[in-house]
Amino acid sequence: MNEQKLESTEEVIIIGAGPCGLSAALELQAIGINPLLLEKNAVVHSIYQYPTYMQFFSTAQLLEIGGIQFSTPNEKPTRREALQYYRDVALRRELRIRAYEEAVSLSRTEKGMFRVETADRFGGVRIYEARFVVVATGYFDHPNMLGIPGEDLPKVNHFFEEAHPYTGMKVAIIGGSNSAVDAAMEILRVGADITVVYRGEDYSPSIKPWVRPLFESNVDKGRIKMLFGSRVIRIEERTVTVESATADSSPMVLENDFVLALTGFRPERSLLTNAGAEVNAESTVPAFDPATMETNVQGLYIAGVIAAGRAANEIFIESGRFHGALIANHIKELIQR
């Protein structure tokens, strides 16, 4: 079999074109390096997957990257404004982004370079080499699966986009964190019959403090049914079966049209581990130097939420955007030695 032809040799390859990957690219540009970004979807795909009418909790200033102003007439920017901001930044700075090209393997060559193999939407395979690699992949592509019968039915969704499709429908929402609460509040406005199934015994402490009173009020008034200490054990075409961990009664069978399984996401670490990076088995946090973002593998860096492991809510755009400067400064030092 013939060896795959090398597409290009780069100084730096960034895997992932989310806000933190873009920020790293801008910081590298500032020191004279023009990195190649590999993105398996569209630019800032993680933000694209947010609910359609979502508004950020952060101000526009805290979402800015590369010193480029994020202007909005609103106190807090919307999803749509963020999409426009980040894609405009990418276009204005002429970032080299290979969209819809997924990095499927990462390894070290005998000469000490990194070898990145990619696959595009049409089955095309490309090989790149780079002196340095920054892994800035998010975690929204890998939802935590329930592992129950019926989870693969068309009526089940692990992402909430907007309320309209659920108008007047019976909807079961699995989960009790912000995503589940926000979805319930939006769906309530379109007249849905909502049951929230949550394994916790009380409201999650992570619920935004300005949302929790409104949510609790709707539960108290019977507008939203809240089942604590419970879990869905089976999903069928017209029903869901819910089991209570505290009740002695038999599982409940509820009429149901749609299920939103908003149970969080799991990080994907195979690119890092295959390249020799150490990852904590329990927390899934990669071993890295917080001063440089370099992993235990020399020349291999991480940026953004991938540095947080399972505790993905510990790193946001506001903090992850600064990882790029740490990486660029370290690479600059290495090059100048």
- pLDDT, one tens digit for every residue, the chain (337 residues): 446 789 999 999 999 999 999 999 999 999 999 999 999 999 999 899 888 988 888 899 999 999 999 999 988 899 999 999 999 999 999 999 999 999 999 999 989 899 999 999 999 999 999 999 999 997 776 788 999 999 999 999 999 999 999 999 999 999 999 899 999 999 999 999 999 999 999 999 988 888 999 999 999 999 999 999 999 999 999 999 999 987 667 899 999 999 999 988 877 788 999 999 999 888 888 999 999 999 999 999 999 988 876 555 545 778 888 999 999 999 999 998 7
Contact 39, 120 (CB under 8 A): no
- Amino acid identity of 176? G
Domains 6-141+265-336 and 156-261 share a fold: yes
Q: Domain locations in the chain?
A: 6-141+265-336, 156-261
User: Within 13 A of 59's CA, how many CA atoms are on the CB side?
Assistant: 4
Residue 149: what pLDDT? 96
- Nearest Cα neighbor of 98 from 178, 210, 21 is 21
10 Å Cβ neighbour count for 247? 12
Per-residue pLDDT at 3: 61
Among the four given CATH numbers 3.40.50.300, 3.30.420.40, 3.50.50.60, 3.30.360.10, the one describing domain 156-261: 3.50.50.60
pLDDT of residue 289: 96
* SS3 label, residue 114: strand
For domain 6-141+265-336, give its CATH number from 3.50.50.60, 3.90.180.10, 3.30.70.260, 3.40.50.620.
Answer: 3.50.50.60
Strand partners, 114: 108, 130
Please list the helix, strand and coil fractions of the chain in percent, rounded to the nearest 5, in that order. 25, 25, 45
Predicted pLDDT at 143: 85
Strands 125-135 and 300-302: parallel
**Cα Rg for the chain, rounded, in angstroms?**
22
Region of 252 (left: φ > 0; alpha: ψ -120 to 50; beta: rest) is: beta
Q: In this predicted structure, what is the pLDDT of residue 2?
A: 47
Cβ atoms 315, 308 nearer than 8 A: yes
